[in-house]
Amino acid sequence: MSVIYEKIYNVERDDYANAGLVSSLIKQSLRTIGISPAVSRRVAVAVYEAEINMIIHAYGGTITLQISDDGMIRLIAKDKGPGIPDIEKALTPGFSTASKKAMELGFGAGMGLPNIKRNADEFSIESSPAGTTLDLKFQERE
Partner 1 sequence: MKVTEMIEKTGFKTVYLGEDREVAGVYCGDLLSWVMGKGQPEQAWITVQSHLNVIAVAVLREFSCIVLAEQAEFPEEVIERAKNEGLTLLYSDLPVYETAVRLYEAGV
Ligand X SMILES: Nc1ncnc2c1ncn2[C@@H]1O[C@H](COP(=O)(O)OP(=O)(O)OP(=O)(O)O)[C@@H](O)[C@H]1O
Amino acid at 99: S
Residues in touch with Mg ion (CB under 5 A)? 53, 112
CB of 2 to partner 1, least distance (A): 30
What sign for the dihedral angle of Cα 21, 55, 94, 133?
A: positive
Nearest to 53 by CA among 82, 26, 86: 82
CB of 24 to ligand X, least distance (A): 18
Residues in touch with partner 1 (CB under 8 A)? 16-17, 19-21, 23-24, 27, 41, 44-45, 48-49, 52, 105-112, 114-115, 118
Q: How far, in Å, are 17, 35, 53, 123, 125 from residue 135 at the CA level?
A: 25, 20, 14, 6, 6
Residue 60 as a binder of ligand X (CB under 6 A): the answer is no
CB of 85 to partner 1, least distance (A): 20
Q: Report 94-133 residues binding ligand X (CB under 6 A).
A: 95-98, 107-114, 132
Q: How far apart are CA 62 and CA 8, in angstroms?
A: 7
Q: In the complex, which residues of this chain contact ligand X (CB under 6 A)?
A: 49, 53-54, 57-58, 79, 84, 90, 95-98, 107-114, 132
